A and B are shown apart, each in its own frame.
Chain A
Amino acid sequence: MNATNPVVNFKDKLLSDFQLFEQSLNGSSTLPIHAIRRKAIQHFDQLGFPTPRHEEWKYTNMAAVLRQPFRTQMGPPAIDLSADDFRPFLIDDLDAHVLVFVNGWFRSELSTSADEEAELCIGSFAEAQKGFAPAFDQHFAQHAAYTDDAFTALSTAFARDGLFLNVSAGRRVSRPIHLLMINDAREADYFVQPRHLLLLDANARATVIESTHTLGAGRSFSNIVSEVVLGEGAQLDYYKVQNDSPLASSIATIQAHQHANSLLRSFTLSLGGAMLRNNVNATLAGKAAHTDLFGLTMLKGREFVDNHTLVDHAVPHCTSNELYKGIYDERSQGVFNGKILVRPDAQRTNAFQSNHNILLSDGATINTKPQLEIFADDVKCSHGATSGQLDENALFYLRSRGLSLEAARAILVHAFAVEILNTIEVEELRTKLDAQITERLSFTF
């Protein structure tokens, strides 16, 4: 291939970064985690960045992002940041544990106090990597497949910092954990790769809100992989909030492994970003596990979101429910690819999936592919997908009662979004998002 191809250059840069990284490790390159990293980088080398020729990337061409000259960082950057810089990103009135990550590196001095961290069972990712946490070694890179996904391979190869949460059996983390993922694009454009590992032991419970924010007028590109393991009866609510600058791109992957009776509730709320790709994959590996996947996308300008989900019913008696809604204005584009896989022995599975979209402008596009792959007969599975516009009759009804066209449209779009907003259980987050959506509709209720 042409050596001046910027995408190839970026790949080469990452490969040589890895060599530098290895050299800097000295003694710790003999640790088991490093063997995984080395395997992962080899897979990345073989796979290369995906192109639209790849079925999973058919509608999503990352080249526009990958050809940007992003910088990478080998260690924690010395970035001067104060609480004022990220205050607007906090959720009003929400009593939460706030953990701040800057360019993918944890900043303890900006976060909740160390005592609270201990209470939360948040371990240092860096320490955990050195082999102090057996649970880390047991689960790291065991769930997110780095053999067939280039971005997961890349994340695995460069996994240095991120959230390491280990909630012990029966513990409930009462306050939500808010992860503030801040990318500094004030002086340079960075490619960052935070990596999370969330382990909830039997009957443990936690709520995590992860929001990404870019500082400054530059571009940012993050590749975030979260591995989630839910023990028997554990419950995790995981909110991804993407209301970032129109120059911020990200690949966000959640790979969950669920044991019996566990419950995962995932919320993907995409209100802004240049190029967002979200992969939410759940494997139901124990009886009576349940997965709820909710998504709301509201875009404008030339923004782009690709939501890929996979619910893998590996054992009998599990259920899943999925609802993604999208509102696309101006020249924005959306992709939805939801896959339900029912493995040969997973009898008595109930799996439902819906994807509904509204195009508000002729320049907007939605490509949706709801997919069922079913290898067992005693199942109830269905999916539905629609794309349309606001209901003429409803618009007429509102206008005949004296509302302007804009107001009538705003009410209907808001009503469309509310179905997802109502599933959000953290009230303060719901209020904040509702306010942002209302503001975007430039209408006060």
Chain B
Amino acid sequence: MSQDLALLEEVTNSDYKYGWVTDIEQEIIPQGLNEDVVRLISAKKNEPEFMLEWRLKAFRDWQKMKEPRWANVHYPPVDFQAISYYAAPKSSEAPKSLDEVDPELLRTFEKLGISLAEQKRLTGVAVDAVIDSVSVATTFKSKLAELGVIFCPMSEAIQEYPDLVRRYLGTVVPTNDNFYAALNSAVFSDGSFVYVPAGVRCPMELSTYFRINAANTGQFERTLIIAEEGSYVSYLEGCTAPMRDENQLHAAVVELVALDRAEIKYSTVQNWYPGDKDGKGGIYNFVTKRGICQGYKSKISWTQVETGSAITWKYPSVVLKGDESIGEFYSVAVTNNLQQADTGTKMIHIGKNTRSRIVSKGISAGKSQNSYRGLVKINKSAAAARNYSQCDSLLLGDTCGAHTFPYLEVSHSGATVEHEATTSKIGEDILFYCNQRGIDTEEAVALIVNGFSREVLNQLPMEFAVEAQKLLAISLEGSVG
């Protein structure tokens, strides 16, 4: 292959560079969902009785629920019987250390830019790697254990710390919360579990990397983070999936619990396969994320960069229950081609002097539709609550759409709620200014988009911020001119 061709190929493939499949032995259970499947998953995980009961209850609730249709997204109905609810890389025993992990898997993550070998000590990021439904490796476990921080796969937590799991699982997002949360509760197979004991400031970023590999499966992970009194933890998640012509379902649930003076910072860089230019394939990303500021002066902050998925439908929320607690939501959502995103947040103010801040930046290009949908609810008990929301939309091209659906519900006269939203395009004068200085139009757009999103990107941990910036530029490639 000549060099030109190689270059050309690189450029054309840059649409989605994580689209390959790892060829490893998989264990997949047959498609379809019934009580036996739920029992099978529970049995495979060797779960205690209470978990099985919990799953079955969720499954029975799910059967009674209807698929929600209110979001501003359109897609053919999902056939829940055509999905396999459990897929795992085959290995006889759980690996005790990284040396025992299938080298093919390690290569997978290296290819994704995530080295699981602890050589990356300098970066100071502990990683939990999840392929399809199962966690394959968690790094830095022992170092964290010295401080009493628990960072392990959910399935392990159920075995090792059943009391903690039992006490908190499903308390923030109840099993019957919504259609997808019920489904997740019934069939989830793994995810991350984090417990930070009182007064501990977690010394490194905790990170989970999610990868869908198998075909015709759904990914249902469940994450639970508990920050005890006065503790701090920063957690990141990243996600990719192979390019396939079928749509795949991803329905995760994330629960955060922050006790007195605790702080949880949760960042997401979501880059599931978005489908091709004609809207074929891609991930349906229907996720329930919610945190509760249980204690006095606790704080939960969500940061998300959403560039992937054919359809994104998620509203990371904060229930501000403790007095003087703080909720934050920073989001950049980019849609291109035929992607659809309906995302935003909910801030439920219950405690006194609670504060929340919402900064949402939507960027739409191609034929995509990008919606912000948010709720700020000030309960009667939330004296002197404060909210500020800002949602800006940037439109690139005349075939895309940007929509804003903010709901403000105020039931306390002492509350101050402010919301503002703007929608505009990149002005021709700005592009002209850049062109004049030798920056071509595509680069100029990337520059402006970066500036537009900076307020949010600044919230990301540094390693991720760099990646997110690149991701923004790639997602919008070819959307100009």
Which residue in chain B gives the minimum CB-CB distance to A333?
B411
Contact B419 A386 (CB under 8 A): yes
Are the CB atoms of B408 and A388 closer together than 8 Å? no
Residue-by-residue, is A175-191 near B (CB-CB < 8 Å gives 1, otherwise 0)?
Answer: 00000000000000000
Residues B424 and A344 in contact, CB atoms below 8 Å apart: no
The CA of A368 and the CA of B405, in the complex, are separated in Å by 10
How extensive is the interface on chain B, given as a class? 35 or more
Please name 19 further chain A to chain B contacts, defined as beta carbons within 8 Å, in addition to the given A385-B408, A386-B417, sorted by A numbering: A59-B409, A357-B410, A359-B413, A361-B413, A362-B414, A370-B404, A370-B419, A370-B421, A372-B402, A373-B404, A374-B395, A374-B423, A377-B400, A377-B425, A380-B422, A381-B422, A383-B421, A385-B419, A387-B415
Q: Which residue in A364, A376, A386 is a CB contact (below 8 Å) of B413?
A: A364
B binding-site residues for A, Cβ under 8 Å: 70, 378, 380, 393, 395-425
Assess A369 versus B408: contact at CB under 8 Å? Given A377-B400, A378-B398.
yes
Closest residue on chain B to residue A382 by CB atoms:
B422
A377 engages B421 (CB within 8 Å): no
Judging by beta carbons under 8 Å apart, are A344 and B399 in contact? Answer: yes
- Nearest residue (CB) in B for A375 is B401
Quote the shortest CB–CB distance from B43 to chain A (angstroms).
40
Q: Which residues of B contact A59 (CB under 8 A)?
A: 409
B410 touches A359 (CB 8 A): yes
A321 within 8 Å of B by Cβ? no
CB of A52 within 8 A of chain B?
no
User: Which of A55, A360, A385, A389 makes the CB contact (< 8 A) with B406?
Assistant: A385
> Quick one: closest B residue to A373, CB to CB?
B403
Report the minimum CB–CB distance from B319 to chain A (whole Å).
19
Q: A382-B420, A384-B420 are in contact. Are A374 and B402 (CB under 8 A)?
A: yes
Contact across chains for B417 and A384 when beta carbons are under 8 A apart: no
Render A380-422 as a binary contact track against B, CB cut-off 8 A, 1 for contact: 1111111111000000000000000000000000000000000
Q: Mark A1-41, 1 if CB is under 8 A from B, else 0.
A: 00000000000000000000000000000000000000000
A58 closest partner in B (C-beta): B407
Task: Tell yes or no: A318 within 8 A of B by CB.
Answer: no
Cα–Cα, bound, A352→B260 (Å): 42
Contact B401 A383 (CB under 8 A): no
In the complex, which residues of chain A have a beta carbon less than 8 angstroms from the beta carbon of B418? 384-386, 388
Q: Which 5 A-B pairs have the closest CB atoms?
A: A359-B413, A377-B395, A372-B404, A384-B420, A377-B425
Output the least CB separation between B481 and chain A (Å): 14
Among candidates A362, A364, A376, residue contacting B398 with C-beta atoms closer than 8 Å: A376
Q: In the complex, are the beta carbons of A377 and B396 less than 8 A apart?
A: yes
**How far in angstroms is the closest Cβ of chain A from B5?**
35
Q: Are A369 and B406 in contact, CB atoms less than 8 angstroms apart?
A: yes
Q: Say whether A387 contacts B423, CB under 8 Å.
A: no
A111 sits at the interface (CB 8 A) = no
Question: What residues of A have a CB within 8 angstroms of the CB of B419 in the complex?
Answer: 370, 383-386
Q: A385: which B residues are within 8 A, CB to CB?
A: 406, 408, 417-420
